[in-house]
Structure 1
Amino acid sequence: MRFELPASRRLIGEWVRCAATALVLFGCGIAAAQSGSPDILDTLSPEQRQQLIDAYAESRPMGSNDGSFEQYGSGEVPQARGSDGGSGVQDDPVLGAERQRQARQRVLQLRRQYLRFTDTPFSANLEPFGYSLFIGAAPSTFAPVDNFPVPADYVVGPGDLIRVQIYENNNASYALEISRDGAINIPGIGPVDVAGLRFAEVQQTVRAQIEQRIIGAKADVTLGRLRSMQIFLVGDVNQPGSYTVSSLSTMTNALFQGGGVGLSGSLRKIQLKRGGRVVSTLDFYDLLIRGDAHADLRLMPGDVIFVPPVGAQVAVDGEVKRPAIYELDGERSVGQMLELAGGLRASSSAAATIERVSPSHGRVIVDIGRDGVIERSAPVHDGDAIKIKQVSPRIEDKVRVEGFVKYPGRYQWSAGMSLADVLQVAAPLSSDSGEEAYFPAILIERTTEAGGVRRWSALQRGPGGLVPAESLRPNDLIVVLSRSDVEYLSSSDVRSAVAGGGRQVSSCPGLDQLTRLLSSQRASRLVHIFASERDSFGMSDQWGDIQEAANGDARNRDDSAPSYDGYLPATPGQQVQNRDQALILGQGSANGQGDAFITGNGQAGRSARLVSSGPRSQLPSSAARQQLAPASQCPRIYQRVPQILPFLLERSVAVFGEVRRPGLYPVADGTALRSVVDAAGGLTAEGNRENVEYVSYAQALDTGQSRYQTLDVGQDQTLAIDMHPGDILNFRPVYVGQENGVVRLYGEVRFPGAYSIIRGERLSDIIRRAGGLTDQAYPYGAVLTRESARRAEQITNQRAAKDLREALVTAVTSGALPDSDASSGFLSGIVQSLESSPTVGRVVTETDPQVLAARPELDIVVEPGDKLYMPKRPATVTVTGQVLNAGTVAFVSGRDASEYIDMAGGFTQGADDERAFLILPSGQARKLETSFWNFRRVDVPPGSYIVVPRDATPLNGWVLSEKLLGIFSNLAVSAAALAVIGDNN
């Protein structure tokens, strides 16, 4: 058994010296001290116990203990350690984990101590070899002795249990323990001497005795419980002491039971002493590296295992299979150290050094890599640190291929290699439905011989896409472009990066390179020219579509179902049920709610939509447009080779106009115009081959002045001219005299629908093509809408709303406007109506074919997008506004406006009868003179609107009345036109 002495100081020493010190201090016998009985320590006072610990500490070399006895002073009594795993202290999982942590810290501390003088960066896992095997070692990791198989050469002795089974007429079974005199007493036979015999010899002897004494008997002899014995672990072990172990235990079993070899102990020269002589020397490296356990002898009672201090050490790090700090035992050369380290890795190089401590020069570096070979015979000394360096990851004499190829990557360069040779292996991809190859240029980046810098150059492909026989140089980078790579040059992302104020696209390194490195005036000019031409020709500008939708552009609406509902969003679920509610101005509550502009469909009993009276949303700013526009996907080539993007812009030709794929196209010097035209997809059907506008950048550089030229690309000699970066090509369209758009006719025409138009075509021509008017047509009430007029009307309404808001503020601040919620709510409702009301864009014109034939000056020229709504002849007149019973009344020939107002109940108290007005079916508005003193008869045709506005004089006659009359008139005209449109859809 062994003492486990908790202490605050390190305990290092040999058991023999410990026992001698205890004998001197306390008068104990050596035998009693060696017995390891805990009764001895129980008789000691705390002062005597401390003296014993101090004696241990003084008798051991510094640094040999692992710090596991750091809690001395707690009053705990050391406990003996047995073969069954010992006390519960080691079996505690918490204490076991703490022991492993402390052991790992000790290993790292020794590593730092060993390498503290070196400047070479060593691996983080470089540790003393073999010691980590004992981290957390505990006897409980061994199997119980009863389950251990007993070898035939096991020597029995006193304490072993022999089991004998006799088979005869009366079977018998005995468990016989070997006595101290070495004999077992078999009943009916007597004592048999077995001590000192091997187990196989014991079996033969016992069987022979039984068979001689008992006739016909057979015996089976086995071993039961094995004897235990006491051995000693001394020297540089983690937990030295006396241990009771199994008779089958070996040196390694005892070392593990004692916590393993300390960091200051040797793994190469562990001695087994028996009877004062060294009977075996165990080299743990033989077991760990070679699996050789021949020196791991079985222990005998009283054996002493002695671990001497560690010997010379050498560190081996770098590209070896087992980097570690190794203890020397006969190794004297670099080659032998490399064998201990498992040999070199495949990634090792001939660059190897030794850092050595020189008594005269301090730390020195010895180069052992000579002529591309490691000098394995170079001697090593204690404290050396061998570093085997890794082969350089950089591949020399290579070429790299990226882009639109089947096998991108690096290829070994060889003298005489051409571009065609390497591309034959890399296999450029051919065009298919998913992606197309780009033929006009192949790019090469190479190192200049003079300055050693990297520069790009563009090479022109030959006929049929054949590459030139360009000789390659080491470390050349070849890039084969695809169609999508080139199209990205014309994207909004690139335009934004060139402008310098666009959004950052972190997912595209090529744009980052462009933002930092672009300084070419030519590249910037091309991008801006193409962008402006792109916008002017209405090419695929994503923001343009968004802006047109926000503005309510009629071109973005579904022409198959024309409706004024698309101009502004309608409020869901709010409807009016009759035509009497078609126009409501300022009839809401005092807080302005309900002051909305309601447009009817022109027929009683049918629904009309309520358009929101809230203010229009402001259009996004230019910065917001960049965020609204979807980002283009960054091609992979600009992620792999980001520095190529600025170069491609500088090497591009701008192509726009009547080609199938306008854009920026990078070219090599001397690229033929034919190649550029083919890259752009060729001319469209409307492209004018004889009138192509061309600006030569090279000539502008020579003369300092740009000049337009006209080319005829229908001639072979023209297609053969050389193109240069910076050139601009504008393919003009052929003049065909046909407008890009249609005119739509609705209602009472014989063949309503869409009609394409030619330049100069007039309204009568379109009506004639539609088969003329039907018998039910009412040309006087026809509505012609035009997009340009709608936009102008929208601007007018916005300006009127602004003026009215400013006048309202002026009237309130000056005191001219009564301070009442009703007045403010009324005027706010008018402003909101102006801002939110749908604009129609009605053009007041003559639509009767007979009148147009008689007066050609009234026959207007139609424009693309025009819509003509031809209604049926109505039989009603609508009276709305400030009358008692606003609504629709039957038309009676000969009645004037005052009679229709009387039919609607007459004026209300708040009506402004002097400012009532009439909206004719043609869209014209006339003022009515309906007062008693000033009356002028006005005939009212069918389909007219009579509007009686509210009296604005109480608000502020001199400031607001004139403005309100014009506003009421405009809104009413729009409402009347929308009613006609709704009836004819």
Structure 2
Amino acid sequence: MKKIITIIVLFVALTQSSAMLAQDLFKGSDLSTIQVDNLSDNDIAKVKSQLQSNNITIEQAEPMALGKGMSAGEFSKLKTRIAASKSNISTTDNSAMAKDSGRKQEEILNTKNKSNLDPLIFGSELFDNPTLNFEPNLKLATPVNYILGPGDELQVSVYGVQEFNASIPVSIEGKVSIQYVGEIPVAGMSIEAATQKIRSAIARVYSTVSSGQSQVSISLSRIRTIKITIIGSKQPGNYSISSLATVYNALFLGGGPGTNGSYRNIELLRDNKVYRTIDIYHFLVNGDQSDNVGLKDNDVIRIPAYSQRVTLEGQVKRPGIFEMKKGETFADLLTFASGFTDLAYTASVNVSQKTSKEYKVRDIKSSEFNTYKPLAGDIFRVTKILNRFENRITINGAVFRPDVYSFFEGMRIADLITKADGLKEDAYSKRARIVRLKSDLTTEIVNVNLEKALNGDAEANISLRKEDVVTIYSILDFVEEYKITIDGEIKNPGIYNFDEGLTLNDFLVQAGGLTGSASKRVEIARMIMSDQIDDNNPAKAELFNIEITPDNNEQAKNFELLPFDVINIRRMAVYERPQMVTIRGAVNYEGKYVLANKKDKIYDVIQRAGGLTSVANVEGVKIKRPIQTKQIEDVENVNLNLGKKDSIQNKLVDKLKNEIKFATIPVDWKSIAKDQLSNTNVILFPGDEIEVATFTEGVKVSGNVVLTSEIPYEKGRSFGYYLDAVGGVDGKAWKKKAYVIYPNGKAAVTSSFLFIRSYPKVKPGSQIIVPEKPEVKKTGLAEIIGFAGVLASVAGVVIAVLRR
């Protein structure tokens, strides 16, 4: 009796110590009796909450706990459990438990390295795919055969007239302790059997359960962690995994079989006996997971070395290295490799076998696939079928269906033409060609008279052979392609195909009809054909001059054309559309004006525009003439002898095309006003633009000067006055090349004579431009020395020559 009382007292003391730690780590005075293994997850959650409320870490609480008698080992356990804990749910908080009814599992950390095995080993990729790890799904219903053990946690609920709700762990002794009910041993029992046992125990305390007024619900809320051992894997060792884990999940964590590990004879050892032999090929080939059995605590997975492996390469859908079991055949190997590809040669397979001294080669015929048993180290090679046909024959040319057809023994030329739906209307029936492949793979030509062959002549209707290529000619192949040319005042000039019976009327319509500028004259040139050379007739073509009605495509005289005729429709002698010039600026009537006369001059157009206004600058009249395409072509055609790599001419052409759109023609209006025969009274061209500047007294100064500005004009002031007025020139200025652009577009440059520099005269509205001085590369000392050496060498040669 005393022993029983002592045990009860010790139990109460331990319980109180645990409760004291759970209630307040910082208020307890004696923590020497604490055993962390006896604390529930909810107790750990309370301790974690206390640390958070006091705003300290577990490391900061260590001196305090050790000072109150807690051993270093127990504190280390407490620290580990707090680090692994992620839940702050209390058993007394029923509402929180109702919200989180999902099953939990302690976090399991297993380091897995990527496999470096030969990727050709069939099945090795299974253990390198992170999306196929076979982890148990904790959200699925608990298996009825699940065996409970220490570390599991049950959610026990009584609902109805009486209510009770608690998460109850399975203790180390394998029992669950339910308030008012007592301890119930459940370790080693299935979840189904444990549920019945717990329900019966509760019914003895809760009377309404027996009467049916209250119901009992029991579920697995937390899964325990079990220890298993893997031998022979890439990462052998002990692993902590979920009690719901399976063999494949454990193999994945272990990295799969090692370099020499078997994929087909893996042993699951339970209680020191082989519980099951696992063949991973069942899953890889058929998706069969019957070998993927659940694991128990202390299970051992042993992966022995493989017994035999063979290699299958070439035209199979899944080439690689395969493990074979005793009694399996080559047909089984093909199944593992998913069979032949579409181009595989299946009549036989070549295999290289090892003997005790060397290799030997053997051919396995298709009839042996189901009986031949591969040997360790066999290398099977499946080749492609030959790129040739056993019954092909081809026909092309003037038949309705030229194509490739199947050949049969005894086939004749008439049979093949019938297969091709017969000859077309343009078929040349006097001859057909057969290109035949001889036995030595050279070719020969066989000619056939089609007309006789199709009329029943047995000798002409020759027999065909496979790979024959039959060509039926068309009469159109022998007809010369005739052309005819039309040019001049026709809407669509060009070269057209000639058809027999073509007339001038037909051709005019075919070419789009005459243009409005067509004259009545048409010239037709026809080639001269003769078997003999006539030296007295130098003519190269025969000419026909025909008069037509230009406003009608249907001519009274319908001239018949011949192949290679060249027709030229002449243009009317006078047919010019009105063309215009533009005038803008200080004239009374700006706008566009038609050139009424071929020799209209600038004076005539300005007078038609009402003359110059009172604010016009008589020295500011100029013509802007568009640069014509022909002018650019003339520049391109000039050979400046600058070499192909020189860019001067290219830059000039590019500048004319893209930058300079107009050429400026200065006009001396004062001279024209006095004498209309002045040479500056130029004749205008279509597109010309006349600009009359408005009088301004400013002089614009720009370029390499200190300040770009416009200076008021002062009569009699020199060029230098205006440069000084803008602050002079800058350091890069090339003053001796400065120039003036006058209002009419004319330019004047600086000149010099006997070291006396003469600057151009400045007028109202002028523009002074100071260009930038080009950079000159200075001659270095090394270049001077080199140049001097060259001169010395030349001098020596000259002296030597003179002495002779």
TM-score category by the smaller chain?
0.3 to 0.5
Higher relative contact order (CA 8 A, sep 6+): 1
Q: TM-score, normalised by structure 1?
A: 0.38
Q: TM-score, normalised by structure 2?
A: 0.45
Between structures 1 and 2, the one with greater helix share: 1
